[in-house]
Amino acid sequence: MGKKSESGTLFGIPYNFERPSIGRLLSAHWKPDEGMLVEKPFGIGYTLNLASWRSWVALGVTGALLYQERSGGSDDGEDIDLDDDGDDEPVEVIVED
């Protein structure tokens, strides 16, 4: 058998399983001349390019959504529970033609 490739692409998705160095790890996340996504320095797929302003917007939106989810998710401070009306009896519905 031949030697397996440690880096390349598979179905258009990049992979790299070469032993990473500190310089390669740091420089992979800061590439001013490239777009929002860059190839991961180790592993499969893409990661955010922190030199792009779009990446910071995506991180900000993600952080705001996580904060909203963990703080209860209600903007007006009122928790509305439609199922808890205190009446657990069956309801009769009459439909007229």
Do 30 and 50 contact (CB within 8 A), yes or no? yes
Tens-place pLDDT, residues 2-52:
577 788 888 988 988 888 888 888 888 899 988 899 989 898 999 999 999
Within a domain: residue 79? no
Give the global pTM. 0.58
Domain count, the chain: 1
Give dist(CA 20, CA 14) in Å, integer: 15
The parent domain of residue 21 ranges over 7-69
Per-position b or e across 3-21, b if 16+ CB within 10 A of its CB: eeeeeeeeeeeebbeeeee
Q: Please state the φ and ψ torsions of residue 57, each to the nearest 5 degrees.
A: -65, -45
